[in-house]
Amino acid sequence: MRELAQHRVVPPRRLAGWRRRFRLARTLGELAPCSFVIESVKEEVALKRAIFGELERHLAPDAVIASNTSSLPITILQARLRHPGRLVGKHWGEPAHIMRYLEIIPG
């Protein structure tokens, strides 16, 4: 967090109390209040689809699901979803913790 503040990614005032704001989710159901969720698992269509299906059971219909896929077409991952338009691909520039570049890939 200090490094993020040094690079001006996070305002220094946000450093105070960040641990109180941090939440570890042990199940996908605990992500229900989130409006933006990033999936980052190995490049297997079946695995990603299973996760997206589970997320759809818990997230609001307008919550965005972003896949960190690097090789799978987003349209293939969107197939079978109840709300396919909310699934996007995303890639960040490296080093990810300080770059201000983010690629968003619609289906």
Which positions are catalytic?
A: 91
Looking at the DSSP bridge assignments, the partners of residue 39 are: 67
Beta-carbon contacts of residue 80 (< 8 Å; ≥ 6 apart): 49, 53
Cα–Cα distance measured from residue 59 to residue 86, given in angstroms and rounded to the nearest whole number: 11
What Rg, from alpha-carbon coordinates, does the chain have? 15
Tell me whether strands 102-105 and 87-92 are parallel, antiparallel or unpaired: antiparallel
Going from the C-alpha of 5 to that of each of 11, 16, 22, 40, 97, the distances in angstroms are 6, 11, 17, 25, 11
